[in-house]
Amino acid sequence: MKQQTKILILIFITVSCKTVITEKNSNKMSDKSSKKETIMNDTTPKVTGIGGIFFRSKNPVQTREWYGKNLGLSVNEYGSTFESRNADRPDEINYLQWSPFNEKTTYFDPSEKEFMINYRVQNMEGLLKKLRENGVTILNEIQQYEYGKFVHILDPEGNKIELWEPIDSVLTKIGSETTK
């Protein structure tokens, strides 16, 4: 009789612990699902990643060819397009453009730096409103293309920054060769 009681108590404790653990895991999964849903619906004006790396080069053609031959980049007339997956939406392909520019380009002006970084953003209009409120120098109006919106700003050190709100699906449809 004492043996049966001990077994029943052990079974009760095991079932109770399993129920508590299952409920905690269920709550954790629900929390993760809720957080993922919140992230996917997030429209906060902000930078979401790097969209491009642009730099001056004495010979952009030769530079592209060197990177293709020696580092395996898939290159085209603009440089190389890197393909990656969105961590919050794994079915979505994102792109980063790597491009050497002629050393005499005026595209980086008024910055005197040898490079310019393109940042991927969400909610371009909201971000520009925030930047204006914070006194950031905005160099131009939003430019709209089939693959996204662009605008240029200056950071406190005079570096020109390109902001890009991409429409990655258009780039995916174009289907050019990418570096993976």
DSSP assigned state of 136: -
Region of residue 93 (left: phi > 0; alpha: psi -120 to 50; beta: else): beta
For 147-170, the pLDDT digits (tens) are: 999 999 999 999 999 999 999 888
* Start-end of H helices in the chain: 2-40, 60-71, 124-133, 168-174
Instruction: Report pTM.
Output: 0.75
For 33-75, the pLDDT digits (tens) are: 555 555 557 789 999 999 999 999 999 999 999 999 999 999 9
CB 100 within 8 A of CB 114: no
CB 64 within 8 A of CB 74: no
Q: Does the pLDDT value for residue 76 go beyond 90?
A: yes
| b/e map 74-98, b = 16+ CB within 10 Å | bbeebbbbbbeeeeeeeeeebbbbb
Q: Does the pLDDT value for residue 83 go beyond 70?
A: yes
C-alpha 5/C-alpha 46 separation (Å) is 62
